[in-house]
Chains A and B, each alone.
Chain A
């Protein structure tokens, strides 16, 4: 960054005219404000890099001393508490993927439809009532959602799905989907509402109805923003902890059947952190190995989402 002196192309004479002094002061203000903003932006990068650094550092010890990365990625058993521990991440990954999949298959369609309704169909008064109510859904603490899944959703589902165990991924995923709906609908609605009215008028002037305009013109025009909403939804689902910890069970289980109990990566981290863990023990380090896997997953989805947004960005 240039020093403030270099920004000033004014000779250091004593008698400057008022405009030069004004310009100097402005440039100082610019420089100071710019520096503060740079520091704020830099701090978030520093924090992110530190997190990645700590994750990498701790898990490198884990991967060199406890288990090889190949076994970690290919072994089908995750039994760190057993006398003969095995550290295969796959059961935790499937648990995470299945609950995420169930949650997203609720949250993305419902969230999109809600957003479409609020943006294109709802009268003004209805929108102003429903939107804050929906956003309150995301203000409910997730532990409450967890017990909602366990105490309400599971008994309800047991009426339709015979033999459904008390702890299962289906119930956890559905409730997690409900939790994510407002994230998806709120951001998607903002994206749809920012589509210029001119584009809607164009569609209506061709003789399109509301449904056709909404789904064939507004939706693709807003898709870049809607993709951001989806990415946020995916990240929330992968990272969600309390709902799955409470209602999906705490046993690693390599299965793609949502009716079964299973453990997600996040639930494992909660579970293992509850016990007395010796600093530097394999159990302690396994937290970081699980954490870096989680990070890799969310990062992958974020990059995919970024590509999606770039691909569908519209310049209207």
Chain B
């Protein structure tokens, strides 16, 4: 792979491009093979061609002796939303949580393989790589809203303070921008210093998204961000995800087929710790090549 070239010339952020045939030269079963033939979803025709933000190669993951992920290969494209779908227990969340090494918090977990963050070429799961640095560069939104026991303002400023920003004006500006981009500024601007627990569930989840994007990560991970929310709040979050796509590579786990088809550009179907099929969302939902995928997306699974 020509990732080494990216290392030497980090300015060339568009290299390696997914469409570059040289990229998939050495990997036979690489998902890059899928993406090579990808037709860009029609509604985003004006977009630049996709470039990989994160590439996953032969990833295995173990909880103690139990292997949860089997030899995954995958590409997360910059400025695109990629959805992970699949039945419960198939390893979607486990896979997502490898990206920011949150598994490190629990003893007995083990990674094998490579998750490369472009353009720096860092292997996220390498033991010598500091997980704290990776987590500052890769933000995560959880299934249930988990605001900290602090004020609304301090919640959003949390990541900024961790990055060492103490200037009051800068903090205020960036908190305001983050809250505006998650569309809750108007709802909370009069009570920024009230506890975050006084908000509704949907507001709390948007606060958690604001908290994550205020720290300006490069990748946004979302683990079923709408599963605890009502349809109206869900609609607002989905709208937000489509906006966030302009600035981030977004990886979203969802149980909701409609959500995956509405909000994502690419979809990976996972089953029993493997990626069964990966391609443009339109193709996965309208013309899947694997029988299991078709059964799952049409609701005939099992």
| Chain A residues engaging chain B, CB cutoff 8 angstroms | 123-124, 196, 198-209, 212, 216-217, 220-221, 223, 314-316
Contacts and interface: CB of A to CB of B under 8 A. Distances in A.
A207 B149 contact: no
Interface of B: 100, 102, 105, 107, 132-133, 135-136, 139-140, 142, 144, 146-150, 158-159, 162-163, 197, 208, 211-212, 215
A206 B215 contact: yes
B146 A207 contact: no
B144 A206 contact: no
Contacts of B147: 202
A179 B197 CA distance: 37
B140 A205 contact: yes
Contacts of B163: 207
Contacts of A201: 102, 105, 142, 146
B148 A198 contact: no
B149 A205 contact: no
Contact of A207 (B148, B150, B159): B159
B215 A220 contact: no
Contacts of A206: 135-136, 139, 158-159, 162, 211-212, 215
A315 B146 contact: no
A314 B146 contact: no
Given A124-B107, A198-B142, 14 more contacts: A198-B144, A199-B149, A201-B102, A201-B105, A203-B158, A205-B102, A206-B139, A206-B159, A207-B132, A207-B159, A208-B158, A216-B158, A314-B149, A314-B197
B162 A316 contact: no
B105 A204 contact: yes
Of A204, A207, A216, which is in contact with the most chain B CB atoms at under 10 Å from its CB?
Answer: A207
Contacts of B105: 200-201, 204
B197 A315 contact: yes
Given A200-B105, A220-B149, A314-B149, A205 B162 contact: no
A194 to B, nearest CB: 13
A250 to B, nearest CB: 47
Contacts of A205: 100, 102, 135, 139-140, 142, 212
B135 A217 contact: no
B135 A202 contact: no
Nearest to A196: B146
Contacts of A217: 148-149
A316 B208 contact: no
Of B148, B159, B163, B212, which is in contact with the most chain A CB atoms at under 10 Å from its CB?
Answer: B148
Contacts of B215: 206-207
Given A204-B135, A206-B211, A316-B197, A199 B162 contact: no
Listed from nearest, the 6 A-B pairs whose CB atoms lie closest are A207-B136, A202-B146, A205-B140, A207-B135, A220-B149, A221-B149
A257 B255 CA distance: 67
Contact of B142 (A202, A209, A221): A202
A199 B212 contact: no
A316 B139 contact: no
Contact of B162 (A196, A198, A212): A212
Contacts of A198: 142, 144, 146
B102 A204 contact: yes
A241 B4 CA distance: 73
Contacts of B212: 205-206
8 contacts: A123-B107, A201-B105, A205-B100, A205-B135, A205-B142, A206-B139, A216-B148, A220-B148
Nearest to A202: B146
Of B146, B159, B197, which is in contact with the most chain A CB atoms at under 10 Å from its CB?
Answer: B146
A204 B136 CA distance: 9
A209 to B, nearest CB: 6
Contacts of A212: 162
A316 to B, nearest CB: 7
Given A207-B215, A212-B162, A314-B149, A202 B208 contact: yes
A124 B142 CA distance: 26
Contacts of A216: 148, 150, 158
B107 to A, nearest CB: 8
A152 to B, nearest CB: 40
A204 B100 CA distance: 9
B149 A316 contact: yes
Contacts of B102: 201, 204-205
Contacts of B144: 198
A38 B159 CA distance: 50
A41 B6 CA distance: 72
